[in-house]
Structure 1
Amino acid sequence: MRWVTYLSPADGRERAGLLRDGEVRAADATASLLDLIEADGGLAAAAERAERAPAEVVDAAGLRLLAPIPRPPAVRDFLAFEEHLRNAVKALGRVDLPQAWFEQPVFYFTNPAAICGPDEDIAISPGSASFDYEVEVAAVIGTGGANLSPDEAEAHIAGYTVLCDWSARDLQAREQTIGLGPVKGKDSATSLGPVLVTPDELESYRRGAGYKLAMSGSVNGQHYGGGNWSDIYWSFGQMLAYASRGTQLRPGDVIGSGTVGTGCILELSGLHGNERYPWLRPGDTVRIEVEELGTVTGHITEGAEPVPLKPG
């Protein structure tokens, strides 16, 4: 199944709908996609209602899509691709890879209030001169759970979507010298969409710890870089299991994969230089594409001026 969250052309209300054959069929007049996930029978029951007695049926073409889960309870973003780690370490002028990364997946919490849809303006983080994108996939939790095993955790996934983690590299680097972070380096925007694809739709693509699906990023129509989901080192089952240790995952929580190898400017500038791959500027258009999941587009705009924290 493929689900979207959209603004109804009839009344402008936010609705969740089943995408099929160029049409979107709303399962309910008022329920959000998270409501449908949490209801008895989950998305399977919602799909049956959408087919049998939809609240509305609209043409998918031209619909204003929102993030599938516009207001997730929590957003965790991992670093699960080894090539990204190796390239980022090199770009930052370091030599040794952190051994802990090979022993456990790692993540940070990002801002659930900063979720953007799949085709929106993205303002540069205030004060940043090194603004970047990241090509990622994300899992959305369908049923909650704690202290899960990797095998158990996979069954808790409602679906997958494209994620772009917009990153202020200069703010991030400065903050992390203190021992905390990424803080404002990752706080301004995270794009999700355009659809939530249930795991059964992807099963035939399963390879290794992931799925054999291409992931790529482009700026102003020029392909920059990317890789394949099947290159992932830590599976989503392993990531969810780790995230659930000693705590409760909740329906609607978003779990990002981290950047695929060469899926960001930080890596590419470290490999080829900033003249070839400059940081993002107002007027740039970024497209993040994952095979079978669709495309997220960000139109880069000027950021706000940072408000001084001290007089003078």
Structure 2
Amino acid sequence: MRLITFLADGRHRVGALLDEDTTVLDLTAAAPDRPEFRSMLALIESGPAGSARAAELVADRPSTALIDAKAIRWCAPLPRPPRVRDCALFTEHLSAALREMARRQAAAADDPDAAFDQLMAGGRFTLHPLFAERVLYYTVDPLAISGPDDTIAPPEDAAELDYELEIAAVVGRNGSDIAPGDAGGYIFGYTICNDWSARDLQLKLMQTGVGAGVSKDFSTTLGPCLVTADEVPDPYALTMRARVNGEQLSLGSTASMTHTFAEAIAQFSRVGGVYAGEVIVSGTVASGTGFDAGRHLKPGDVVELEIDRIGTLRNRVAL
């Protein structure tokens, strides 16, 4: 199934996409007494029984609950996820990004080349071997989730907004001490993530060593839909693209992941467990930013992230 959260009568509702995403079946309206359709999180938490009931409604297509997909306001599939971890499942991008950040920091020196060599020799801009050994991540603010077609405004005093092309897996059930071979079965589905960054603020904050902070926490976009795992036979063979105003700037593939979502779930389950509805984001695919392409986003730019079998996530930069 291809599931969405949309806004109607002032509250979030759960829908299933039909007819090549042109029609929405309002699951909340089709079964108003069923608690599993009160929110996307409730549907995920209801487990196989809730998903089976949703599949029955999709097959029945009750006409009173069908809506034109263009007539509703789409929201993030999980507007308020219980937890979001942005991981370094792709590591190739990180190495290139660190070198570019070092080069930018060195640019203000009297001898930029010497300053760059000194920064790289210090090790802070070289990818640590631990990134290849285990899944490293940072926690994303779940209160700052945005959705498809939302306008994205950079934080105050930021001048260089950037997109990041990422895929995310949503955990389908609670678990702890999950065996690596079983971890893939804990994935409910997949969505697209735009992990927006304020590059100029990020570069300043990196010099302090305290983390990304406001350069990341102002917005993380999920959408346009949540595609159940059965609809994605091989999540590690998906083409990923990013366009700005229709021009393709990024092209990558989930095949280039260093770590899998299953590895992340197995690792996270050993400390504190994983929970239904939590979002595990891949990190950025190689070439997956404007930073990589030497392109700065401008007010009014339209950013589109597209991933095979999921769709296209579109946002506009605030004027």
TM-score bracket for this pair, using the shorter chain length: 0.7 to 0.9
Does the aligned pair in 2 maintain the 1:218–1:287 contact within 8 Å? yes
CA distance in 2, matches of 1:268, 1:89: 15
Match of 1:20 among 15, 18, 21: 18
Structure 2 Cα separation of the partners of residues 35 and 53 of structure 1? 21
Which residue, out of 279, 282, 288, partners 1:257? 282
2:253 paired with 1:228: yes
TM-score, structure 1 as length reference: 0.86
Give structure 1 stretches of 5+ with no counterpart: 270-276, 303-312
On the 8 A contact 1:16/1:26 being kept in 2, the answer is yes
**Contact 1:219–1:284 under 8 Å retained in 2:** yes
Per the TM alignment, residue 136 of structure 1 is displaced from its structure 2 partner at its CA by 0.5
When residues 101 and 286 of structure 1 are mapped into structure 2, their CA distance, relative to the original with a 3 A threshold, is: same
Match of 1:300 in 2: 317
Instruction: Trace 1:5-154 onto structure 2 (pairs within 5 A).
Output: 5-8=5-8, 11-21=9-19, 22-29=22-29, 31-39=38-46, 41-52=49-60, 56-93=65-102, 94=120, 96-154=126-184
TM-score by length of 2: 0.84
Alignment CA distance shift 1:139-1:296 (3 Å) = same
Deviation at 1:106, TM superposition (A): 0.8
Per mean C-alpha deviation after superposition, the further-off stretch among 168-177 and 229-238 is 168-177
Q: For residue 244 of structure 1, what is the aligned residue in structure 2?
A: 269
Q: Which has the larger radius of gyration?
A: 2
Q: Out of 214, 217, 225, which is 1:184 matched to?
A: 214
Q: Distance in 2 between matches of 1:218 and 1:226?
A: 9
Deviation at 1:266, TM superposition (A): 2.3
Cα RMSD (Å) of the superposition? 1.9
Give me the whole-angstrom Cα distance separating, in 1, the residues matched to 2:204 and 2:175.
36
Figure out how many residues of one structure are paired with residues of the other and give that number. 287
For 2:61 and 2:69, the matched residues in 1 are separated by: 18
Q: Residue 44 of structure 1: CA displacement? A: 2.6
Structure with the larger strand share:
1
Higher mean displacement: 187-196 or 87-96 = 87-96
Q: Deviations over 1:115-144 (max 9, x none)?
A: 111111000121112211100000111101
Counterpart position of 2:111 = none
Distance 1:250 1:165, change over 3 A: same
Contact 1:17 1:50 in 2 (8 A): no
State whether residues 87 and 135 of structure 2, in contact with CA within 8 Å, keep that contact through their aligned partners in structure 1: yes
Q: Deviations over 1:24-74 (max 9, x none)?
A: 222223611111111251323322245447572212234321111111011
Q: Match of 1:155, as an amino acid?
A: G
- Is contact 1:116-1:192 (8 Å) kept? yes
Distance across 2 between alignment mates of 1:130 and 1:5:
30
Shift of 1:185: 1.3
One of 269, 289, 303 as aligned partner of 1:286:
303
Q: What's the % identity of the aligned pairs?
A: 40
| Aligned-partner Cα distance in 1 for 2:12–2:256 | 36
